[in-house]
Copies of this chain bind each other. A is one copy, B any other.
Amino acid sequence: MGYSVEGVEGLGEIQPGSDLAAIICGAVPLWEGDIVVVTSKIVSKSEGRVVAASDREQAITDETVRVVASREHPGGVTRIVENRQGIVAAAAGVDASNTREGTVLLLPVDPDASARALALGLRTLTGERVGVIISDTVGRPWREGQTDIAIGAAGVHVFEDLRGTVDASGKPLVVTMPCVADEIAAAAELVKGKATGIPVAVVRGLGRFVGDLDLPGARSIQRPAERDLFRQGADEAYDEGYRAGFDEAQAEGPLSPND
């Protein structure tokens, strides 16, 4: 039981309109069951999702569906938001690293659709059933540092659904559903990502997670806010509660001595 992860070098600079499937196929042989993990940045570049850096704050506002939390710090304000793609991330995923001077990149409009198009292209060019994950780097509550997650997926089972199966001692695994798409994105970051500048990795030996192109995408990983215990930052929720409690007490009027 094992697999390998390899960074794909020599892709060159990706431009608006670049054919990612052809470029990747030209740089690395792909086999049945391979999973190609692509940094969202080059997908955004190929889709022309670039805006002037001077418009960064406006771009973050435009990409924001819901502010989850924010905090002021000496350098400005960090806004953690749910963006149009449904992903909760700092700055709505608007990215200034590894971009042309004076520009920032927005995330792909629909990362699952981008993943499907790329997977279809790779399958057509190679004749092999390969999967695609589009990854992005995000921070997380409770733990320092960042990890890569899957923001788009096609032809890959994003979860290994163990609910209803039993463990090695025969007990039912009631709630266990490993998010393999996020784990594969994390595994791929170790050879690509910001440090190496390598934007693509090929994961070989996990073909059991590869499937049809109409499998649910990475959007299915996102927990709806109404079911999320952490749908709002603690300070924001406290402030909202404070105002509600204050208003409620005032509406009730003064306590009578017998209350």
Contacts and interface: CB of A to CB of B under 8 A. Distances in A.
A237 interface: yes
A223 B71 contact: no
A58 interface: no
A8 to B, nearest CB: 9
Contacts of A137: 176, 178
A230 B142 contact: yes
Interface stretch (A16-24, A109-117, A123-131, A244-252): A244-252
Given A141-B228, A143-B182, A234-B234, A253 B254 contact: yes
A77 interface: no
9 contacts: A100-B169, A142-B228, A147-B186, A167-B197, A173-B194, A182-B186, A241-B245, A249-B250, A253-B254
Interface in A61-87: 69, 71, 80
Contacts of A237: 232, 234-238, 241
A162 B195 CA distance: 7
Interface in A211-229: 220-223, 228-229
Q: Taking the full assembly, how many copies of this chain does it contain?
A: 2
B198 A1 contact: yes
Contacts of A71: 229
Nearest to A176: B194
Contacts of A220: 144
Given A178-B137, A179-B146, A234 B235 contact: no
A195 to B, nearest CB: 6
A253 B252 CA distance: 11
Contacts of A242: 241-242, 244-245, 248
Contact of A182 (B147, B178, B193, B240): B147
Contact of A206 (B190, B228, B232, B241): B190
A97 interface: yes
A230 B222 contact: no
A2 interface: yes
A237 B141 CA distance: 15
B1 A2 contact: no
A238 B100 CA distance: 43
Interface in A1-32: 1-7, 9
